[in-house]
Amino acid sequence: MISVPDEYQFSQKHLLGLADYSRDDIAYVLNQAERFREVLDRPVPKIPTLRDKTIVNLFYENSTRTRMSFELAQRRMGADVVNFSASASSVSKGESLRDTIQNIDSMKMDMVVVRHKSPGVAHYLTRCVDAAILNAGDGAHEHPTQALLDMFTLQQKMGSLEGLKVAIIGDIAHSRVVRSDIIGLQKMGAEVTICGPSTFMPLFPETLGAHVSYHLEETLGWADVAIALRIQMERQSDVPSRIPSLGEYHQEYGIKMEHLEMFPDLKIMHPGPINRGVELQDAVADSDRAFILDQVTNGVAVRMAVLYLLSGSIEAESSSRGTASERPSN
């Protein structure tokens, strides 16, 4: 558990990005995630903490891990779950985002999990509805639950975030994960270096607040953990003008077994989906030095913790409306 002040109280209504969360907020979420991770190891990994809540998953972009992880977290906590897909909705008939969310809100939803291609959509929705809003990724802006599960996995595997050296390697310019990771890791005392070709860096990479490198081996030698990012093909139409080929990118910036042999203490992470043979060699992704599947499992626990905290369950506990069987054990 990460220490937080005795007088601390979690008071966030939404999770729009980690820029809005303090160090204590993040620590408290990670501590709650530890309790929910224990729930997942039970023979029946369910806890009816959200049985009186209705949650809509509002996904305007494709997703596998994030959508399934949120839905599994919601169902394991007893929530009523409504899944929304833009391609199978009135969005295809021209309905605006504002009209969509206000119609959904009129059906008395308690929480909305939203993924959208446009940065700032989660913030916008807070002005349209009263429900708690959880950002599941807004364009290339933020992906806060991914950063939280990354930090939870690092804490679980490495023991502490304080002083940890984390390298984030790949398509920095178009990644929403990198922004949330940098914000969260630095608030928790870790050092972060971003590394990639100059064509995959933002115009002013130093404004992200991390060290900047263009040399893979030098960066891997510095790092305790390397988080590899895929090339965001869907956010750019000019990939061929940015790199000669995917093969050459792999040669210059792909993490290979020779790197694990060169740096025997280095650990590997990836937010998924992996483009094998591009950012990671097959053997690296499947090695016991990779925490990738741990990230997936921990993602469910982290999202359970966030849903729990934003649902108002703490207030429900304080007014004695919950029972001990409905809460993760301390």
Instruction: List the catalytic residues.
Output: 65-66, 93, 115, 143
Q: In a 3-state reduction of DSSP, which class is residue 312?
A: coil
User: Amino acid letter at 279?
Assistant: E
CA end-to-end span of the chain: 11
Nearest residue to 289 via CA among 281, 297, 299, 300: 281
User: Amino acid letter at 258?
Assistant: E
Rounded Cα gap, residues 147 and 259, in angstroms? 25
